[in-house]
């Protein structure tokens, strides 16, 4: 199942000829990361959701998240937490949250929501790190959710 989701994500990016070179290079490096980095994550999430074009750079994706939703990149580190990743996914894909997320939108309840929806198969703890492979698996679930017309 995990491999299928990774294939969905890979196919979604590789299907765009203009971005083939950039996406392929980024994804190769991203998949091998023990801790997913914020800029690449923002790029994959926002471009998969259609918020930025595939030709955008990771930096442009970070700026878009800041400008559109006020989501600031983490200070003092390149990596992002599962909660921060989940928050970007929730915002980019317009996934509705629970009562607490509605009133206090942020990483904590975003991770809870994606855990409840079984996008996150491991522990849905917002402060833990996630690998590039797990990040793309979660993104694959979000893409499948979007494809199902939810």
Partner 1 sequence: MKKRAILAAVVLAAAGITYGMDFGFSVDSDSTFQRMDESEFIQKNTGLVWVAADLGETWEFHGALSGTLSSDDAEPVFYADLRQLSLKGLFETPAAGVSLVSVEAGRFREAEFSGRVLAHTLDGLRLELGLPDSTGRLTVGYTGLINKYYGSVMMSGADAADDADSDIILGPARLVGTLSWEFIELFSRNSLNLAAVLQKDLRSEDTVDTVYAGAGLNGPLGGGAYYDLYGWYGGGDIASFLLGGGLRWYRPDLRHAALGLSFLYAGGDDAGTSIYDGDNKGFLPVAGSAYGLAFAPTASNLAAAELSFSMKPWSREKDSVLESLQTALTATLFFKPVDGPFSEGQVDGSAGSGYLGMEIGGALNYRPFSDLGLGLSLGCFIPARDMFVDDYQDPWLTGKLYLSFSF
Positions touching partner 1 (CB under 8 A) are 97-101, 109, 112-113, 116-117, 123-129, 149-150
- Cβ distance to partner 1 smaller for residue 66 or 123: 123
Q: In the bound complex, what is the minimum distance in angstroms from residue 58's beta carbon to partner 1?
A: 25
Q: In the bound complex, what is the minimum distance in angstroms from residue 124's beta carbon to partner 1?
A: 7
- Cβ distance to partner 1 smaller for residue 64 or 112: 112
- Cβ distance to partner 1 smaller for residue 12 or 90: 90
Q: In the bound complex, what is the minimum distance in angstroms from residue 145's beta carbon to partner 1?
A: 11
Q: What b/e readout covers 111-136, taking b as 16+ CB neighbours within 10 angstroms?
A: bbbbbeeebbeeebebeebbbbebbb
Closest CA to 36 of 74, 90, 91: 74
Residue 33: phi and psi, rounded to 5, are -80, 130
């Amino acid at each position: 199942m995990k491999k299928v989701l990774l294939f969905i994500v890979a196919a979604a990016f590789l299907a765009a000829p203009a971005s083939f070179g950039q996406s392929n290079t980024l994804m190769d490096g991203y998949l091998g990361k023990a801790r997913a980095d914020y800029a690449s994550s923002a790029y994959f999430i926002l471009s998969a959701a259609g918020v930025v074009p595939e030709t955008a750079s990771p930096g442009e994706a970070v700026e878009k998240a800041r400008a559109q939703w006020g989501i600031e990149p983490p200070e003092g580190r390149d990596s992002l937490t599962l909660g921060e990743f989940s928050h970007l996914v929730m915002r980019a894909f317009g996934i509705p949250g629970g009562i607490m997320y509605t009133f206090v939108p942020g990483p904590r309840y975003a991770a809870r929501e994606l855990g409840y929806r079984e996008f996150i198969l491991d522990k849905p703890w917002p402060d833990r790190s996630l690998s590039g492979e797990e990040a793309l698996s979660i993104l694959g679930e979000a893409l499948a959710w979007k494809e199902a017309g939810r």
